[in-house]
Structure 1
């Protein structure tokens, strides 16, 4: 068994799922993959099941009954992974907005450079986003600045969804106490790790807007992020963020 696994949540990703799985499996380092599909009506899970026969033991699938939220998908994936022996656990989107080759950069940051949590950052060295409307670029960029101001966390891309965790981070965080399901989930996980004293390292990547399929971003998810950050900060100030017991 390899030491690394990539968790990829999916909802209606039939145009991308086979290509992204094969791109990860073609990398020079071996990664396993866990797909978490939220009842995609387009048959995404059926494609994954077919590929499981081609990649036995390397490709796993959790099927859920409907759209239950990005955060709950990752929490389910983290718990599944922690029952196994993986040391490095990755989050990645299915739509090629995250370049599979950059998994190697994130792995190096954690395995060789002392990071407990490595973040594939769109804003670590300027603004590295391709094919996004300017309004969305500005919204994302200033959302990350807002997170830094409110939380004091020195992460330039706090909302990033391309991440590598060392196992000990997920074992220490009380996953049942992670409250947010959408945009704020990524911030909450990083902020929790930061408050617990883990070393967070940003790795510069280029983020490319999806070419196929439909974006899952909406105004409600963004609003959760704005107000959720304040909630996190107040919770930390008045109660603290504690390790899993």
Structure 2
């Protein structure tokens, strides 16, 4: 019922509150599992009867996970994003990540909701270059490492959008600069280290970042040096604390 009501009238403040509730539920379940594992180390022969008072069993845990997944899916299916409106649902993507690899959206749903690309009369993909910075970064964070290579197509679509955006790169445009910095530090911009390196080089070549005559080897050294300054950039790609971030957002909310 919560998801149904939220899907009718999603708002940023409601998104933060819903995500905070969902995260606390998931965090509670995961803490129980850690307690269970610690108990089993001390009492290896603990019975099922004992353990049921410490943590949810497999079926109960995944029943809760499935309800959360289905609820968020309902929100994504009932609403299509506009150039700005998808901010409300971006907050739900990290919750899906918290559910684990068994609960991942299909590429089709992600594209339909966020409109990553459009199709022309010949069914050729046209990158949606109006996709904003926050959506691009949130989708890359959602794709993450993607060990099962489920999102290779959408990752490529995002790369094409970034390339199109940087055809008109403006160094005085904050969104362009933020996006450039995150492209240079995001480990998920490519499906392999080689692809990440090549894409970063391609972007910097496009905006004429390097001096004429700079070798690819020197370019790679410069790129690796820039990527090493991750603690100084706008988005922390490897050390996210969702609970802390949600608490901060709640503190800034207007009631």
TM-score for both structures, normalised by structure 1? 0.26
Of structures 1 and 2, the one scoring higher in RCO (CA 8 A, sep 6+) is 1
Q: Which has the higher helix share?
A: 2
The normalised TM-score by structure 2 is: 0.25
Task: Report which of the two structures shows the higher radius of gyration computed on alpha carbons.
Answer: 2
